[in-house]
A = this chain, B = another copy of it.
């Protein structure tokens, strides 16, 4: 694989895992030494990450994209029509084998699993459901939305009960798809998105001060 893609993936991972703080400045020279490559592939990776909005320009400088928690509502509003459409289409189009694949993914994440695992599966579930719709544009849009949500989700208290709740809701959505009940699945999906948003906003509101200190934009967080 080209060096540029390696750098892109590693840097992406560092950003999404909050290894690099939101708003943190990135100098090309620092990245140069960090990844032991020259500026050319590094700049290509940065331009690419800019397209994914994980990195942004601040004047002439590069910074890790800040998190605007005010986006959380708009993001839910965006996801609801897409994901309800996705589950309806999934009912009509997904094969039993495809559905079983998603089921396995959920089963593989048991109570004792590490936090990272829950985080990843919680994201991938929605993308895989979108994939069942067979519509690549829906898949990409949902994947992008989940990426934007990703970092905020680390901040969720993500307590045991919260995990269980999300897992149950995922299970129910998949159940309705399996039972070929598109309207119930759509209703469940919409409710799940709303509930998750509310859970997230509630837990974030309890820690505004701490968030600001960690570089999160609390602007617009009601």
A-to-B contact residues, CB < 8 Å? 40, 43-44, 47-48, 50-52, 71, 74-75, 77-78, 80-82, 84-85, 89, 135-138, 141, 145
Contacts and interface: CB of A to CB of B under 8 A. Distances in A.
Given A74-B137, A77-B89, A78-B141, 8 more contacts: A51-B52, A71-B136, A75-B137, A78-B135, A80-B85, A81-B84, A81-B85, A137-B145
Contacts of A40: 40
14 contacts: A40-B40, A44-B44, A48-B50, A48-B51, A51-B52, A71-B136, A71-B137, A74-B136, A74-B137, A75-B137, A77-B135, A77-B137, A77-B138, A78-B137
Contacts of A141: 78, 141
Contacts of A78: 135, 137-138, 141
A84 B80 CA distance: 12
Copy tally for this chain in the complex stands at: 2
Contact of A47 (B48, B80, B138): B48
Contacts of A48: 47, 50-51
A82 B137 CA distance: 12
Contacts of A80: 85
A51 B50 CA distance: 9
A146 B158 CA distance: 38
A164 to B, nearest CB: 29
A142 to B, nearest CB: 11
Contacts of A75: 137
